[in-house]
Amino acid sequence: MHGLILAGGEGSRLAAEGIEVPKPLLEVGGEPLILRLLATLARLGCDTLTCMVRADFGQVFQVLAGRSFGPPLRVRACRTPSSLHTLVEGLAAAPPGPVFCSMVDTLMPDADWQTVYAASGGALAQGADLVLAVTPFVDDESPLYVRLGQDGAVQALADEPVEPPCVTGGVYGLSEAARRGAGDARAGGLERMRGFLKWRLAQGVLVRAVMVPRILDIDHAADLRLANAWVASPEAGR
C-alpha cells in the first residue's frame, strides 16, 4: 500500500486559541506530528509516502526538505477547502495501487497502527472497497458514527449517535475503485470526507471497519495537552 497524509487544513480552531504553529508541526512527545506520522507509515511498510501540505505552511516544507524515511517521499502543496478536496488531490499524486491514508493529527499506539494497517491491507486484498479505522472513544465536536454488522462490515454511517458507540478515526484504506470514486464524488459536488464515505457506502460497496480502543486527533489546545499526557502514559507504548 501507498501511504498518504492529509495536512491541508488551516488549523483555524487552534489559531483562535492562540496556537499559531501550523498543525503539522505541533509537537507531541517532543516530535512534530508530521514527522511522527511519516516515520510510523514507513515502519508499517508503505511502499511510498505522499504528503499533502497546505501551501502557506512554509515552515512545514522547510522541515520536510531533504528528509528521508526510507520509502520515496512526495510532498505536494495544496490550497483545498476540505479534506475531500485534499484527498482527491493526494490520490492523484500517489502512485497506482491501494492507499493507506491518515489525517496528519491522528494518534494511536504503535500496536494499533500495526493492527489497522495489516487489517486494511487484508480487507482490500479480499475485495473491500474501503476500510475505516473506528473506535468507541468519542471525543470530537462532530463525529461520524458507524453502525457495524457482526462480521465487521459497515452497515451505516450517520451524524447521530449509535449504540454501542463507534466513530470514525481519520484513517482509511482505499482500493483502486475507491480512489476513482473519490474523484467522482468530488466532481459530483460533494464537499466533505464524510459525504464521500456515506455516498460510497450507499452505492452498495463493501466497507470494512477495524476497531481499536482509542484514536486521538488535535483540533484544540486541550486536545494537544491530552495528546502529550497520553504519549507519556503506559498506554501509548503498548
Q: What is the pLDDT of residues 164-204, one digit of tens each?
A: 999 999 999 999 999 999 999 999 999 999 999 999 999 99
Helix, strand or coil, per DSSP, at residue 19: coil
Please indicate, yes or no, if residue 11 is contained in any of the structural domains: yes
* Number of other CB atoms surrounding residue 79 within 10 Å: 11
- The residue among 140 and 190 whose pLDDT is bigger is 190
Domain count within the chain: 1
* Number of other CB atoms surrounding residue 187 within 10 Å: 9
Name the residue range of residue 155's domain: 2-220
| Residues 134 and 175: beta-carbon distance below 8 Å | no
| Residues 45 and 13: beta-carbon distance below 8 Å | no
- So what's the pLDDT on residue 120? 98
Which three three-digit cell numbers place residue 228? 502529550
Please indicate, yes or no, if residue 145 is contained in any of the structural domains: yes
Which amino acid is it at 79? R
Please indicate, yes or no, if residue 57 is contained in any of the structural domains: yes
- So what's the pLDDT on residue 11? 82
Please indicate, yes or no, if residue 227 is contained in any of the structural domains: no
| Residues 237 and 109: beta-carbon distance below 8 Å | yes
The model carries a pTM of 0.96
List the CATH number of the domain containing 126. Answer: 3.90.550.10
Please indicate, yes or no, if residue 32 is contained in any of the structural domains: yes
Handedness of CA 124, 126, 132, 133 (dihedral sign): negative
pLDDT 10s digits, 48-104: 999 999 999 999 999 999 999 999 999 999 999 999 999 999 999 999 999 999 999
Within its chain, how far is the Cα of 111 from the centroid? 17
Q: CA–CA separation, 37 vs 115, rounded Å?
A: 15
Model confidence at 12: pLDDT above 90: no
* Number of other CB atoms surrounding residue 18 within 10 Å: 7
Please indicate, yes or no, if residue 34 is contained in any of the structural domains: yes
- So what's the pLDDT on residue 237? 63
- So what's the pLDDT on residue 238? 58
- So what's the pLDDT on residue 162? 95
Query: Cα–Cα–Cα angle for 238, 123, 128, nearest 5°?
Result: 140
Query: Cα–Cα–Cα angle for 137, 109, 173, nearest 5°?
Result: 75
Please indicate, yes or no, if residue 25 is contained in any of the structural domains: yes
